Amino acid sequence: MDQVQPSQASSEIKNVLFIMCDQLRADHLSCYAPGGALKTPNLDRLAAMGVRFDRAYVNSAVCGPSRASYYTGRYPLSHRVTWNRVPHPIDELYLGDYLAQSGRDCHLLGKTHHVPDPAGANARRFQVQPEAAERFWQGGFTALERYDGHFEMGPDSEYRQYLQARGYDSERPWEDYVIGSQDDQGQFASGWYMRNASLPARVQAQDSETAYFTQRAMDFISAKGEEPWALHLSFIKPHWPYKAPAPYHDRFGADDACAPVRAEHERTEAHPVHAAYQQHEESLSFAQDEVWRTIKPVYMGLVQQIDEEVGRLLDMLEQQDRLKDTLIIFSSDHGDLLGDHWLGEKEYFFENAIRVPLIVVDPRAAANATRGQSSDAFVECVDVTPTILDALHLPAQEHRVEGRSLIPLLQGQSDWAREYTVASLDYAYREARQILGRGVDECRGLMLRDGDYKYIHWQGYRPQLFDLKQDPDELHDLGADPAHAAVCRRMKEGLLDWHDTLKGRASESWAAVENRTNAHERMMNILIGRW
């Protein structure tokens, strides 16, 4: 089935399936970049069922702050999770918290990067009530199985127990099998070393992370039957370690991969922050042709496996007649530079780091007119939570949530428009800070991208500016060019205008503010200034 037909569409949304990948570039889906060796027919199928957003951006190209923005609907400057493992302030609510207020759990399978703030709670002697304790520790979610995929699993891990029951006989099954390989001499080869990426993982494909969590999602949905559900299926891949099981490890070769987008002058004439990032170990590695030619085919294989597992999940939803009443959202927490601009990892503000795939399927008949279309509207990860709340007819939380519901776009309303998109970076935790000799509170970057330009404001340094019309590959930094000073001023003013929209007053609803405006006499019998 290619798409939900109008006759099959439901009048109401009953279920929510929010699928997130980790470190997935938009240009590795064939519906975004047709013509390459990598085909993603199942994700293309999903796009045919809904709307593909071609200009979807994360608000930080770092896992922790990006996911916090997805889950809160708020920008990093508001929710204050500026890096990985920064505790989530106790006064910030997640998507699961909003759904719980209406009597609905949001279940989790996979990664969140959420870190709670017990120190903040203890400092104020807050007691977490038993019924809310799990949501506090798990970022608003009801965890079916949380799995962040970067460390060896503890003994209580269900995935660890599954692997051991399947015969992977090790006290470290993740290190030894999931990211472990065997070289040509029969010796163990760790997936932590990128030179071993092309070797197949010792785990079978059906027991790998992606397949395991897909099956768990299918089991959960089947068990729910006709009962409404909300599920966040959060894949760890194609995030490093770049390790794929057979047959995905060698499905593509180096000739199938595109060479990194970069120019020599980006090294010789680099902005100071860009130059510092180029000195990171992952950047020095990806600067070598051998590295990207080894890693990119494996990355493509990991994406291929995700596509096939999503196809398996879609088939089950179709068989169980759940496509007709399920809102489906597919996205990623950020991209992967893979050697672009002489950089590894993500973090920076270049397009392949901050632009992500975003596909949204609204099964209701009201969305039939846009089904299978693409949209060039600027949308952001902060838009996901308000979209889900809107789809379920739950309160908009407009005094807190800074994103906007995408439902009007899905239903063909043409007046939905955002002039620009914004992202931020706090690189205090990275080696770049030490290279530059910056203090821990001197490492802020802010990006504003409109239809023509990308402007990057760096604390303590000159800005960067890219003319995206003339230079879509972002190879020529115009930030120091006097001829573009007026553009820089205009874009900086745009950042100030955006900052004015942030919602710092998040503890009272707009209705409460309206009710208390000039109400001192009416509400408290207080007279001010009366003669």
| Listed residue (303, 359, 356, 306) closest to 333, CA to CA | 356
| 3-class DSSP assignment, residue 66 | helix
Q: What is the spatial order of strands in the sheet that 421-426 belongs to?
A: 421-426, 444-449, 453-458, 464-467
Residue 15 belongs to what H/E stretch?
strand 15-22
Phi-psi region of 341 (alpha: psi -120 to 50; beta: other; left: phi over 0): left
63 is catalytic: yes
Integer Cα distance of 491 and 483 in angstroms: 14
Closest CA to 388 of 360, 412, 411: 360
Q: Which of the 8 DSSP states describes residue 201?
A: B
**Chain-centre distance for alpha carbon 317:** 24
- Residues 6 or more apart whose CB falls under 8 angstroms from that of 427 comprise 273, 277, 347, 433, 443, 445
Asked whether the beta carbons of 457 and 65 are under 8 A apart, the reply is: no
Catalytic residue chosen out of the listed positions 63, 106, 381, 488: 63
Please list the alpha-helical segments (H only) found in 375-484: 384-391, 407-410, 431-436
| Residue 433 identity | R
Distance CA 62, CA 70 (A): 12
* CA–CA gap between residue 224 and residue 349 (Å, rounded): 41
Query: For residue 391, which amino acid is it?
Result: A
DSSP 8-state symbol, 508: S
Alpha-carbon distance 113 to 524, whole Å? 45
Annotated active-site positions, please? 63
